[in-house]
Structure 1
Amino acid sequence: MSCPSRDESATDSDRQAYPSSSVTDKQWALIAPLRPTPGNTHGKGGRAEKYPRRLVLDAIFYVVRGGIPWRQLPREFPPPMTVYGIYRRWVRDGAWKRLHDALRDQVRARQGRNSLPTAAVIDSQSVRGTDTVPADSRGYDGGKKINGRKRHIAVDTGGLLLTVIVTMAGIQDRDAAFQLLTSLRSAFSTITLVWADGGSAGRLVTWAKIILSLTLEVVRRTDDMKGFVVLSRRWVVERTFAWISKHRRCVRDYETRPEHREAMVYLSMIMVMSRRLART
Structure 2
Amino acid sequence: MSDWRERIDAAAERIIERVRRTPVMTTRALAPDNFPVDLKLEQMQHTGSFKVRGAFNTLLSSDVPAAGVVAASGGNHGAAVAYAAAKLGCRARIFVPELAGAAKVALIERTGADLVVVPGTYSEALAAAQAWEIESGALQVHAYDAPATVEGQGTLFREWESQGLDADTVLVAVGGGGLIAGAMAWFGQYRKVVAVESEGCATLATALANGPDAEIEVSGVAANALGARRIGRICYDLARRQQIEALVLPDAEIVAAQRLMWQKLRQLTEPAGATALAALASGAYRPEHGERVAVLICGANPSPDPLG
TM range (shorter): 0.3 to 0.5
| CA radius of gyration, larger in | 1
TM-score normalised by structure 2 residue count:
0.30
